[in-house]
Amino acid sequence: MAGNPSAAPAPPAVATGPGPDTRTRDGLLIGLTFAAGVVDAVSYLGLGKIFTANMTGNIVFLALAVGDRSLVTALYSVGALLGFSVGALLAGQVVGRVRPPGPWPRRVTWLLLAELACLAAFAVGWATVSGRPNGPMPYVLIGLSSFGMGIQNAAARHLAVPGLTTTVITTALTGFMVDLPALGVSGPTQHRAGLAVAALFSGAAIGAAVLELAPSVPPLFTVAIVLVVLLVAHVRWGERTPAPG
């Protein structure tokens, strides 16, 4: 028996780009990546040539300090590693292993509130010493900065967006270059990776430049960026993201 002649084949699915929630989420993570660049510029130039956001580089600095017998640099690096690790550990306990549905779980906002408190305390401490910490103050500032960055990295990991970790771009850069011959820059992961590299570079460059002109200002950049991220996330998803339970 012949098929129904009036039946027409279904039209092919039309590929669509990322939705508004995805674009907003990615934009917020890019903003946090920019902030991490500023944080590393301040920590490297103002806190004894170490990183408080990028632990890959910080481990290298620790190894170099050990090889060079530079006790102060080694202690600064250890302090940053410990602060970052404790921040990430505690943040991991908050978010748990199961990711709730939605583009931006409420637990991520809670973590960024804690990060904002760390960065605000850092900015106050940094301004108090006019951007020239000495004595025990560098350890306090390193602890606050690295603890906050550990929280931020854990929050980004919970969101699990390919190419956007906000503090480490090695994987993003590797993926970008490996896929470049086949995909060019057309895939969403490629776009994210490229923007992440540009954001971290821009944050570090601007942070370093402003630090020379107005030493108290760069930490305020990071506070402002995280605050804007929190406000946007609350307006966008605060009322419709299920509460954790």
For residue range 20-79, what is the model confidence (pLDDT) as tens digits? 888 999 999 999 999 999 999 999 999 999 999 999 888 999 999 999 888 999 999 999
Better pLDDT: 54 or 183: 54
Q: CA angle at residue 69 from 64 to 72, to 5 degrees?
A: 90
Cα Dmax for the chain: 91
Predicted confidence (pLDDT) at residue 228 exceeds the cutoff of 80? yes
Q: How far is Cα 160 from Cα 185, in angstroms, rounded to an integer?
A: 20
Output phi, psi for 106, to 5 deg.
-60, -25
Look over the chain and give the mean of its residue pLDDT values, rounded to a whole number: 85
Tokens of 156: 């980004």
- For the chain, domains (ranges, CATH) are 22-237 (1.20.1250)
Residues 6 or more apart whose Cβ sits within 8 Å of residue 195: 26, 30, 33
Q: How far is Cα 59 from Cα 50, in angstroms, rounded to an integer?
A: 9
Predicted confidence (pLDDT) at residue 119 exceeds the cutoff of 80? yes
Residues 6 or more apart whose Cβ sits within 8 Å of residue 12: none
CA-based end-to-end distance of the chain: 57
- Quickly state the pLDDT bin for 224 (edges 50, 70, 90): very high
**Residue type at 8?**
A
Q: Give CA separation, 5 vs 2, 11, 108, 159, 215, in Å.
A: 8, 16, 54, 49, 76
The whole-number pLDDT of residue 242 equals: 45
Q: Which helix (H) or strand (E) holds 245?
A: none
pTM score, two decimals? 0.84
- Quickly state the pLDDT bin for 95 (edges 50, 70, 90): confident
State mean pLDDT over 95-106: 82
Q: What is the pLDDT of residues 147-176, one digit of tens each?
A: 999 999 999 989 988 778 887 766 666 666
Tokens of 83: 């602060």
